[in-house]
Chain A
Amino acid sequence: MDYRRYGFIAAIVVVLIGIIVKLGAAQVSPASIVASMIATTIAVATPLTLGALCGICCERAGVVNIGIEGMMLTAAFFGWFGALYISSILHVGPMTSLLLGVLIAIISGALMGLLHALLTVTFEVDQIIAGTVVNLLAMGMTGFCNRQLFFGAGSAFGGQIPRAPGTLPRIHIPILADIPFIGGMFDQQPIAFTALVLVFVAHFVLFYTQWGLRTRAVGEHPRAASAAGIDVIRVRYINIVIGGAIAGLGGAYFTLESVPSFEPLMTNGRGFIALAAMIFGNWKPIGALAAALVFGAAQAFQINLQLFRDVIPPKFTFLQQSSVVGLVPYVLTLIILTGVIGKTTPPAADGVPYDRERRS
Chain B
Amino acid sequence: MTLVLEVRGISKKFPGVVANDNVDLDLQEGEIHCLLGENGAGKSTLMNIIYGLSAPDAGEIRLRGKPIALRSPKDAIALGIGMVHQHFMLVPVFTVTENIMLGAEEKRGLVLDRRKVSARVRELSKEYGLDVDPDARVEDLPVGAQQRVEIIKALYRNAQVLILDEPTAVLTPPEVDELLIVLKGLIKKGVSVLFITHKLREVLEVADRITVMRGGRVVASAKPEESDERSLAALMVGREVILQVDKSEAAPTHEVLEVKDLSVGGRHPGMDEVRRVSFTVRAGEILGIAGVQGNGQTELIEAITGLRRPGSGKVSLMGRDITGVGARTLIEHGVSHVPEDRHRHGLVLSYSIADNLVLCTYNQPPFGTNGVLHDGPIDLYAQKCVKDFDVRTPNTQTAASSLSGGNQQKVIIARELGRPVKLLVVNQPTRGVDVGSIERIHRELVATRDKGAAVLLVSAELDEILALSDRIAVMYRGEIVSIVPAAKVTRAELGCWMAGSQTPTVESAAEATA
Chain A in direct contact with chain B (Cβ < 8 angstroms): yes
Binding site for B on A (CB under 8 A): 208-210, 213-214, 216-217, 220-221, 223-231, 348, 356-357, 359-360
Q: State whether A209 and B103 are in contact (beta carbons under 8 Å apart), knowing that A223-B89, A227-B51, A360-B44 are contacts in the complex.
A: no
- A209 surroundings in chain B (CB, below 8 A): 107, 110-112
Binding site for A on B (CB under 8 A): 14, 19, 44-45, 51, 53-54, 72-74, 76-78, 83, 85-94, 98-99, 101-105, 107, 110-112, 153
Asked if A229 and B73 make an inter-chain contact with CB atoms under 8 angstroms apart, the answer reads yes
CA distance A168 to B400 in the complex (A): 62
Q: State whether A220 and B110 are in contact (beta carbons under 8 Å apart), knowing that A210-B105, A214-B102, A360-B44 are contacts in the complex.
A: no
Nearest CB on B from A284, distance (A):
13
Asked if B44 and A225 make an inter-chain contact with CB atoms under 8 angstroms apart, the answer reads no
Asked if B103 and A229 make an inter-chain contact with CB atoms under 8 angstroms apart, the answer reads yes
* Chain A residue at minimum C-beta to C-beta distance from B45: A359
22 contacts between A and B (CB under 8 A): A208-B110, A208-B111, A209-B110, A209-B111, A209-B112, A210-B107, A213-B98, A213-B101, A216-B94, A217-B91, A217-B94, A221-B91, A224-B89, A224-B99, A226-B73, A227-B51, A227-B53, A228-B153, A229-B72, A229-B74, A229-B103, A360-B87
- A214 surroundings in chain B (CB, below 8 A): 102-103
Nearest CB on A from B338, distance (A):
21
Asked if B73 and A221 make an inter-chain contact with CB atoms under 8 angstroms apart, the answer reads no
* Chain A residue at minimum C-beta to C-beta distance from B109: A209
CA distance A208 to B109 in the complex (A): 11
Asked if B112 and A224 make an inter-chain contact with CB atoms under 8 angstroms apart, the answer reads no
Q: State whether A227 and B112 are in contact (beta carbons under 8 Å apart), knowing that A214-B103, A217-B91, A359-B45 are contacts in the complex.
A: no
Asked if B77 and A229 make an inter-chain contact with CB atoms under 8 angstroms apart, the answer reads yes
- B74 surroundings in chain A (CB, below 8 A): 229-231
* Chain A residue at minimum C-beta to C-beta distance from B54: A357
- B72 surroundings in chain A (CB, below 8 A): 226, 229, 231
Asked if B112 and A208 make an inter-chain contact with CB atoms under 8 angstroms apart, the answer reads yes
- Which one of B44, B45, B86, B93 lies within 8 Å of A220 (CB-CB)? B93
Nearest CB on B from A135, distance (A):
29
- A221 surroundings in chain B (CB, below 8 A): 89-92
CA distance A266 to B111 in the complex (A): 40
Nearest CB on B from A248, distance (A):
24
Asked if B54 and A356 make an inter-chain contact with CB atoms under 8 angstroms apart, the answer reads yes
- B111 surroundings in chain A (CB, below 8 A): 208-209
Nearest CB on B from A201, distance (A):
11
CA distance A231 to B74 in the complex (A): 8
CA distance A226 to B92 in the complex (A): 15
Known: A213-B94, A221-B92, A227-B83; 12 extra A-B contacts, CB below 8 A, are A209-B107, A209-B112, A213-B98, A216-B94, A220-B92, A220-B93, A224-B91, A224-B102, A228-B104, A229-B104, A356-B54, A360-B86
- B93 surroundings in chain A (CB, below 8 A): 220, 348
CA distance A348 to B45 in the complex (A): 25
Nearest CB on A from B514, distance (A):
46
Nearest CB on A from B200, distance (A):
22
* Chain B residue at minimum C-beta to C-beta distance from A218: B91
CA distance A54 to B268 in the complex (A): 34
Asked if B73 and A227 make an inter-chain contact with CB atoms under 8 angstroms apart, the answer reads yes
Asked if A225 and B54 make an inter-chain contact with CB atoms under 8 angstroms apart, the answer reads no
- B73 surroundings in chain A (CB, below 8 A): 226-229
